Amino acid sequence: MAEFIMELNDEQKEVRDWIHGFAADVMRPAAAEWDEREETPWPVIQEAAKIGIYSLDFYAQQYFDPTGLGIPMAMEELFWGDAGTALSIVGTGLAAVGVLANGTEEQIGTWIPQMYGDVNDVKVAAFCSSEPDAGSDVASMRTRAVYDEAKDEWVLNGTKTWATNGGIANVHVVVAVVDPELGSKGHASFIIPPNTPGLSQGQKFQKHGIRASHTAEVVLDNVRVPGSCLLGGKEKLDERLARARERAKAGGGERVKNAAMATFEASRPAVGAMAVGTARAAYEEALEYAKTREQFGRPIIDNQGVAFQLADMRTSIDAARLLVWRASWMAVNGKPFTAAEGSQSKLFASETAKKVTGQAIQILGGNGFTREYPVERMHRDAAIYTIFEGTSEIQRLVIARTLAGMPIR
């Protein structure tokens, strides 16, 4: 087990600086354009693929870093560059994590490479869980998957929403209900291969922030996939459902983790790292502005009202990063989240990003309210962190339930 060390080693620093250079030289110059266009920045993704940032190998190296700091370090630097563009680059990762967490070795080897494509023909993937009536309330999911035993196929019907890369993805990972009587314990995840009949893009959302990232509905109309596309395989699913039914008859017992929740638990510290990157970017813009902007014959940072804000901003960012690093280290080293440390990191970091980007606008004054300065975009982008992959309210609920050891409504 790797010790929890609050400093990157030399190799990690080298990787961090490499990613930072890409974020500064490629992502930032293009950020405003793709935000205005509200389109997937394919040229930027391709540039990331050319140097190896957008690739299975890169994310695998960071994912299996024994310190747990590889992924949060990479996420912070990319989202320091630009949140919308970064989400277009890393959005495929959520689908990949879903397969890594729940799939067989054969499924991992078959489908994850197809999620990324290659340098000359980059692809993206989508993880589809949320629905119009089932966001945080995953037990209300309506998308159904029915097994056709005669053909060894699963038939999926339903509508997914808020899917990053939804409809434009080469590979979709879809969470569906296979046993409605078991609630969230009756869910399973399925691979939808490229060009599968019946899958189509629904509404594409025009968003407040992260506008360079494609977000849309995914409609499943009698989508048929081979039995081999059930993540983990049918034998494993049948065993899990049987245990869930027995525990339901016995009146509860050990909680059974469903595929969607396993994916979210694995990704929460990474989302916290994204928020840290955006917050840090806004703080740095505000700090530089405060040191160069003069009012009444002196830089505005000479005023306590501004200086104290910057002090609070930096303190909150550093505290958020430490919570993210702790949760990431615990996850990689198999430490149980006895106090919902993953949710703690996501909650604090996302709230910090919203607050810090707002403070940055305040320090820049009227300039901060215009699109001539990037803090306006950063503030719009930061709003998503308290919403996606579990709202702040849901994170508080998870933390409270974990601490209390009982359901809290």
In tens, the pLDDT along 328-378 reads 999 888 888 889 999 999 999 999 999 999 999 999 999 999 999 999 999
- The answer, yes or no, to whether residue 304 has pLDDT greater than 80, is yes
Is the Cβ–Cβ distance between 44 and 98 less than 8 Å? no
Q: Which pLDDT band holds residue 265 (cuts at 50, 70, 90)?
A: low
Provide the 10 A C-beta neighbour count for residue 243: 14
Phi, psi torsion values for 266, nearest 5 degrees: -70, -25
pLDDT (mean) for 383-394: 93
Known catalytic residues?
389
Look up tokens 């993540």; give the residue.
231
CA 3 to chain centre: 26
Which pTM value belongs to this model?
0.90
Cα distance between residue 39 and residue 5, in whole Å: 40
Cα distance between residue 399 and residue 344, in whole Å: 7
Which domains, ranges and CATH numbers included, belong to the chain? 10-122 (1.10.540.10), 125-249 (2.40.110.10), 259-404 (1.20.140.10)
Q: Which pLDDT band holds residue 133 (cuts at 50, 70, 90)?
A: confident
Is the Cβ–Cβ distance between 346 and 271 less than 8 Å? yes
Q: Which DSSP state fits 150?
A: T
What's the chain's average pLDDT? 92
Q: Which pLDDT band holds residue 70 (cuts at 50, 70, 90)?
A: very high
